[in-house]
């Protein structure tokens, strides 16, 4: 039975992702709730049915009180069948209606609705560009992804568990009282007006207060996660106190916003007690007065009293449910600031997969300054022939990494084009572009998973033998076999810790190299690929690196100039422009920037921050 209701909606059902999600709250929730629309109708109807049954029972109890005034034997003779049917209804039909109500809400809607929102929200955020992630805390993004689904689920739960039920109950109570004596409705109507005024006052304040509290909690989460993610730096510089103070600012803000939110609930509770007192005195007192005048039966007074006491016990719950509803909407609104942001870097409509035939890369007046008007690249034009090996040299900020990021389409260039085999990279599918490119970075962070998972990340369908062969080529197989984590997993099953922190820099780099070897992409990008390796290991895998390059188009960024001295061509970038290019020997003979870099490098490294004037000044170069 449970399984049937739990499987009524598949939270992973296919859907069309939107590049511009709704930015308003109700359309945003409605888009996610679309697969549940039929269940929502059933949940609403069942909630009304449950409320109607409860009102009917109160009416029935009033009727029972009235018939008890007669002779007991005559009561059973006249009403026995009705009493038996009433008992059957209470024992069997009422539980059935209640069971359907909770099964639809608790088992069909609640689990799947939260999972659907979390799944689609995560999928939406993963579609954002690298630049988008660089502008926010990873912890805050994750917090919003985690807190929005339960908040939306709680809001839906309150609609059908409390608000729909409460509205149906109040309408039913009014009908019951009006049927007994229309004058009994007067205290209920006056109470309801006061209740609506209180709700309106509260709703206008609780949404913004809840959003402010949720924003503050996300800020706390972002700062705490930032400290944990960079725990090595925190410990290295002995800055535990500074991190505590930094977190305390956010925690204090969270406390202040939460205090303001809770003040609203205190005011609500106090006013509600007064309103409910007026309701009880008004309905029961009026009922007693009608009875004393002979205008109402004892049963009517009993039913009116039961209704008043039931509403008294319900109103706090209803108000709390209502404030919970709007508080959770505030959390959803805060989550929307992340989840509902438009996708800026999208595939063109009708974009086709990259068709890589030769591996030629052409840059046409490529310009990109990250919107700052300076830094980056300035009108770079360049053709890299299929299979050509290019080395990139330049000081920090010269534009080397910008060129690589644009080639991978982590950003769209402000002007100009990048073409691979005459295909504009902005007009092909992003995934196909990145599948055609293998990259090893200077700081190759690994996933907090097993060594095997990290290696297969580049090629999930690779065989075990292929994976091990790639690890051996990267001089990683031997140390991998000796790994063991805290859970007792060893070798290729050992987990490497967050960002690979359980491994040395050299070990991480060798796994990253093995991953790219296994991927075997036709275009290869190397960004200081061997900088984390000691000289002995670097020498051992140099042949492997050169073997990787065979038949591929290669762009290698290096500060250790000896690692690119044998490239087919070396490009020197300065101020976002190509100022020199040629082979190692040709550039040395020119006596320009590259020659200055070569002359001043220490142990084979280029000083990326050395001013160009110092590097080319013959007197300073001779020092």
User: Which pLDDT value is given to residue 612?
Assistant: 42
Model confidence at 385, pLDDT cuts 50, 70, 90, reads: very high
pLDDT at 104 over 90: yes
Model confidence at 41, pLDDT cuts 50, 70, 90, reads: very high
Looking up tokens 């024992």 gives 91
Q: Which residue has the higher pLDDT, 256 or 373?
A: 256
pLDDT at 605 over 70: no
pLDDT at 388 over 80: yes
DSSP string, 497-564: -TBTTTS-HHHHHHHHHHHHHHH--SEEEEESTTTTS-HHHHHHHHHHHHHHHTTSEEEEE-SBGGGT
pLDDT at 613 over 50: no
Distance of CA 605 to the CA centre of its chain: 41
Label residue 161 exposed, middle or buried (CB < 10 Å: 0-12, 13-18, 19+): buried
Of the CA atoms within 13 Å of residue 121, those in its CB half-sphere come to 28
CA dihedral 287, 292, 297, 303 (to 10 degrees): 20
Model confidence at 611, pLDDT cuts 50, 70, 90, reads: very low
Q: Can you tell me the mean pLDDT for 127-156?
A: 86
pLDDT at 342 over 60: yes
User: Which pLDDT value is given to residue 570?
Assistant: 94
Model confidence at 604, pLDDT cuts 50, 70, 90, reads: very low
Taking the C-alpha atoms of residue 503 and residue 488, their distance in angstroms, rounded to an integer, is 16
User: Which pLDDT value is given to residue 539?
Assistant: 67
Span(s) in the chain for CATH 1.20.1560.10: 9-338
pLDDT at 386 over 90: yes
Residues facing residue 490 across a β-bridge: 484
pLDDT, averaged across the chain: 84
Strands 389-393, 553-557: pairing is parallel
Per-residue pLDDT reduced to its tens digit, 209-249: 877 887 888 888 888 888 887 887 788 778 888 889 888 98
pLDDT at 620 over 70: no
Taking the C-alpha atoms of residue 506 and residue 529, their distance in angstroms, rounded to an integer, is 10
Per-residue pLDDT reduced to its tens digit, 549-562: 888 999 998 877 87
User: Which pLDDT value is given to residue 535?
Assistant: 67
Per-residue pLDDT reduced to its tens digit, 260-314: 888 888 888 888 888 888 878 887 887 788 788 777 778 777 877 887 787 777 7
Model confidence at 540, pLDDT cuts 50, 70, 90, reads: low
User: Which pLDDT value is given to residue 416?
Assistant: 93
pLDDT at 178 over 50: yes
Taking the C-alpha atoms of residue 223 and residue 249, their distance in angstroms, rounded to an integer, is 10
User: Which pLDDT value is given to residue 373?
Assistant: 63
Model confidence at 537, pLDDT cuts 50, 70, 90, reads: low
CA angle, corner 136, sides to 134 and 142, nearest 5?
110
Q: Can you tell me the mean pLDDT for 489-518?
A: 87
Burial 572-590 (b: 16+ CB within 10 A, else e): bbbbbebbbbbebeebeee
Tokens representing residue 437 in the block: 């490119």
Q: Which residue has the higher pLDDT, 188 or 420?
A: 420
User: Which pLDDT value is given to residue 175?
Assistant: 81
Contact 336, 145 (CB under 8 A): no
Tokens representing residue 21 in the block: 């999600």
User: Which pLDDT value is given to residue 541?
Assistant: 66
Taking the C-alpha atoms of residue 217 and residue 196, their distance in angstroms, rounded to an integer, is 31
Is 380 strand, coil or helix?
strand
CATH architecture of 361-622: 3-Layer(aba) Sandwich (3.40)
Helical segments of 353-463, H only: 400-407, 430-435, 451-456
Contact 147, 335 (CB under 8 A): yes
Label residue 354 exposed, middle or buried (CB < 10 Å: 0-12, 13-18, 19+): buried
User: Which pLDDT value is given to residue 134?
Assistant: 81
Looking up tokens 């359309």 gives 27
Tokens representing residue 275 in the block: 């309103």
Taking the C-alpha atoms of residue 2 and residue 221, their distance in angstroms, rounded to an integer, is 36
> What Rg do the C-alpha atoms of the chain give, in angstroms?
35
User: Which pLDDT value is given to residue 623?
Assistant: 33
Domain 9-338 in CATH 3.40.50.920: no
Model confidence at 118, pLDDT cuts 50, 70, 90, reads: very high
Span(s) in the chain for CATH 3.40.50.300: 361-622
Q: Can you tell me the mean pLDDT for 459-464?
A: 92
pLDDT at 66 over 80: no
CA dihedral 79, 84, 86, 90 (to 10 degrees): 160
Per-residue pLDDT reduced to its tens digit, 509-523: 889 889 999 999 999
Per-residue pLDDT reduced to its tens digit, 422-441: 999 999 999 999 999 998 88
Percent of residues, the chain, with pLDDT higher than 90: 30
Q: Can you tell me the mean pLDDT for 335-359?
A: 89
């Amino acid at each position: 039975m449970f399984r049937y209701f739990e499987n009524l909606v598949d939270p992973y059902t296919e859907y069309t992702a939107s590049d511009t999600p709704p930015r308003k709250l109700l359309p945003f929730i409605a888009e996610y709730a679309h697969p549940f629309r039929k269940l929502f109708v059933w949940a609403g109807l069942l909630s009304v049915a449950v409320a109607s049954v409860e009102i009917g029972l109160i009416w029935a109890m009033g009727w029972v009180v009235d018939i008890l005034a007669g002779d007991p034997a005559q009561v059973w003779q006249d009403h026995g069948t009705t009493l038996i049917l009433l008992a059957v209804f209470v024992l069997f039909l009422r539980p059935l209606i209640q069971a359907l109500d909770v099964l639809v809400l608790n088992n069909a809607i609640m689990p799947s609705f939260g999972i659907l929102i979390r799944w689609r929200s995560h999928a939406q955020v993963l579609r954002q560009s690298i630049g988008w992630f660089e502008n926010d805390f990873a912890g805050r993004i994750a917090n919003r992804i985690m807190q929005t689904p339960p908040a939306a689920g709680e809001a839906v739960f309150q609609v059908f568990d409390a608000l729909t039920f409460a509205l149906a109950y109040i309408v039913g109570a009014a009908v019951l009282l009006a049927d007994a004596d229309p004058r009994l409705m007067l205290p209920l109507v006056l109470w309801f007006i006061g209740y609506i005024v209180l709700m309106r006052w509260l709703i206008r304040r609780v949404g913004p207060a809840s959003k402010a509290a949720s924003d503050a909690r996300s800020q706390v989460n972002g700062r705490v996660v930032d400290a944990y993610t960079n725990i090595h730096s925190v410990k290295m510089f002995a800055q535990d106190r500074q991190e505590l103070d930094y977190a305390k600012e956010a925690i204090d803000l969270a406390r202040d916003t939460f205090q303001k939110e809770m003040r609203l609930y205190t005011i609500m509770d106090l006013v509600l007690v007064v309103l409910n007192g007026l309701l009880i005195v008004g309905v029961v007192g009026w009922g007693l007065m009608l009875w004393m005048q002979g205008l109402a039966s004892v049963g009517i007074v009993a039913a009116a009293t039961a209704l008043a006491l039931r509403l008294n016990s319900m109103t706090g719950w209803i108000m709390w449910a209502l404030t919970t509803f709007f508080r959770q909407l505030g959390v959803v609104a805060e989550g929307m600031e992340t989840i509902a942001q438009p996708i800026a870097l999208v595939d063109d409509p009708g974009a086709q997969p990259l068709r890589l035939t030769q591996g030629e890369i052409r840059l046409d007046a490529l310009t990109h300054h990250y919107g700052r008007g300076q830094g980056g690249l300035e009108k770079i034009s360049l053709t890299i022939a299929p299979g050509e090996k290019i080395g990139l040299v330049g000081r920090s900020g010269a534009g080397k990494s910008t060129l690589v990021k644009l080639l991978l389409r982590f950003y769209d260039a402000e002007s100009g084009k990048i073409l691979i085999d005459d295909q504009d990279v902005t007009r092909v599918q992003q995934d196909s572009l990145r599948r055609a490119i293998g990259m090893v970075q200077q700081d190759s962070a690994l996933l907090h998973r097993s060594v095997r998972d990290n290696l297969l990340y580049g090629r999930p369908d690779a065989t075990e033998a292929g994976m091990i062969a790639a690890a051996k080529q990267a001089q990683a197989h031997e140390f991998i076999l000796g790994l063991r984590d805290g859970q007792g997993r060893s070798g290729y099953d050992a987990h490497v810790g967050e960002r690979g922190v359980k491994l040395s820099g050299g070990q991480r780099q060798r796994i990253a190299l093995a991953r790219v070897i296994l991927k075997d992409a036709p275009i290869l990008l190397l960004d200081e690929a061997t900088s984390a390796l000691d000289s002995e290991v670097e020498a051992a895998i140099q042949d492997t690196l050169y073997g990787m390059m065979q038949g591929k188009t290669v762009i290698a960024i290096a500060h250790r100039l000896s690692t690119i001295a044998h490239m087919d061509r070396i490009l020197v970038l300065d101020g976002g422009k190509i100022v020199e290019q040629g082979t190692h020997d040709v550039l040395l003979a020119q006596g320009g920037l590259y020659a200055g870099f070569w002359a001043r490098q220490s142990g084979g490294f280029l000083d990326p921050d050395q001013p160009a004037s110092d590097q080319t000044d013959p007197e300073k170069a001779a020092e």
